């Protein structure tokens, strides 16, 4: 079932790859609905054909054909025509089958319930009148079939009606599940997209200030609860303003990206790297003592110093250095901001002592 659903979703994406994101979900719902309708019409037609009821099978072939036309309209860009066609085609198909072949006791009119899910997912959220109109239309057609269609027909024995009831339930359930799945999947991807942009710095692709400080709070709390050590480090790229002034902000952005990537590569499992602001970065090192953090930062400082960033119009590369301040949680530390403040003071000391160096906070 999952393989069929995956294949069906790929088919449903035809013609909607280049569409705007806001219309992508609706087009996919319309496409899936038409594909499933084609399947139902084709299977029904084949069953009637196998029974030798050729005239009766024509109606189901016609239904499959209309669904194919609607699908082609959708993938060719006639979205509104395809969207509006389906409720009328579905109502006509259900009514003709109920009156001519199955009878109202077969519960075939319940197939109209898919129009409720279709109206919600296939039309714009702001198109409340269209959604309500489709639902009312489905209700009226359902009532018409229940009131005026014969209870049974010459084609529909009790066994046939039972089979049609089960098939109707299965078809409606599959359509509703898949349509709902499209909406839920879209919401999940949208939520992931929003979360990514809320937590990741767009330029450097490391955590942004909000995210890395939130993780700093968590690491600090875990360290206090488990009576472990943790360290925070603040890194500042030396003379970064001169790079922007001499080579332009585009080159400055490239420098930030390369340095951030180096920090990410140097981070251990469980460490956090984030852009603190401008050319400043923060590294959060859980379960780490001060001397170990110093060695990690010293290694990172050397790696950044070894970077050579070449420009297209110059043979000489740009060299980058960084100053780092490191601080460790202490027994009297009450808030994570205190560690950051001590790391910042150590960073100031690194700059004061000539830059391109790592300084530890040794205050008591």
Q: Active-site residue among 56, 279, 328, 359?
A: 279
Sheet-wide strand order for 358-360: 272-277, 280-286, 230-237, 322-328, 358-360
Q: Which two tokens stand for residue 250?
A: 């585009």
CB of 241 closer than 8 Å to CB of 180: no
Angle at 233 between CA 232 and CA 235, to 5 degrees: 155
- Kindly state the helix (H) or strand (E) to which residue 280 belongs, with its residue range: strand 280-286
Q: Check residue 99 and report its DSSP letter.
A: I
Residue 58 to residue 42: CA distance in whole angstroms: 10
Query: Which residues have C-beta within 8 Å of that of residue 87, sequence separation ≥ 6?
Result: 115, 118, 119, 134, 137, 138
Q: Exposed (0-12), middle (13-18) or buried (19+): which is 129, by Cβ within 10 Å?
A: exposed
SS3 274: strand
Assess whether 298 carries a catalytic annotation: no
Containing H/E element for 245? helix 240-247
Tallying the residues shown for the chain, one arrives at: 364
Residue 224 vs residues 273, 312, 354: alpha-carbon distances, Å: 21, 50, 35
1 vs 181: CA distance, rounded Å: 13
Please list the alpha-helical segments (H only) found in 149-208. Answer: 158-199
Kindly list the catalytic residues.
Answer: 279
């Amino acid at each position: 079932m999952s393989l069929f659903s995956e294949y069906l979703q790929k088919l449903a994406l035809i013609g909607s790859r280049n569409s705007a994101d806001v219309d992508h979900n609706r087009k996919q719902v319309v496409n899936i609905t038409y594909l499933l309708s084609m399947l139902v019409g084709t299977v029904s037609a084949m069953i009637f054909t196998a029974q030798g009821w050729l005239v009766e099978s024509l109606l189901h072939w016609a239904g499959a054909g209309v669904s194919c036309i609607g699908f082609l309209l959708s993938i060719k860009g006639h979205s509104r025509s395809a969207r509006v066609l389906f409720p009328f085609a579905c109502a006509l198909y259900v009514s003709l089958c109920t009156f001519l072949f199955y009878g109202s006791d077969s519960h075939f009119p319940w197939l109209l319930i898919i129009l409720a899910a279709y109206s919600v997912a296939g039309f714009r959220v702001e198109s409340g009148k269209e959604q309500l109109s489709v639902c009312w239309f489905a209700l009226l057609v359902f009532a018409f079939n229940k009131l005026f269609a014969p209870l049974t027909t010459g084609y529909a024995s009790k066994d046939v009606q039972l089979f049609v009831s089960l098939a109707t339930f299965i078809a409606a359930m599959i359509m509703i599940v898949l349509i709902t799945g499209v909406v839920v999947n879209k919401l999940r991807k949208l939520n992931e997209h929003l979360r990514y942009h809320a937590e990741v710095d767009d330029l450097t692709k490391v955590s942004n200030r909000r995210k890395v400080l939130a993780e700093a709070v968590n690491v600090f709390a875990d360290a206090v609860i488990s009576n472990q050590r943790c360290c925070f480090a603040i890194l500042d790229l030396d003379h970064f303003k001169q790079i922007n002034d001499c080579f332009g902000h585009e080159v400055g952005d490239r420098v930030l990206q390369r340095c951030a990537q180096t920090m990410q590569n140097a981070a251990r499992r469980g460490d956090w790297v984030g852009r603190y602001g401008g050319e400043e970065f923060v590294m959060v090192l859980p379960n780490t003592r001060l001397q170990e953090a110093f060695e990690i930062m010293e290694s990172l400082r050397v790696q950044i110093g070894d970077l050579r960033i070449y420009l297209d119009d110059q043979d000489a590369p740009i060299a980058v250095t960084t100053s780092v301040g490191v601080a460790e949680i202490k027994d009297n530390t009450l808030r994570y901001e205190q560690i950051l403040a001590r790391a910042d003071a150590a960073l100031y000391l690194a700059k004061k002592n000539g830059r391109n160096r790592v300084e530890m906070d040794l205050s008591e």
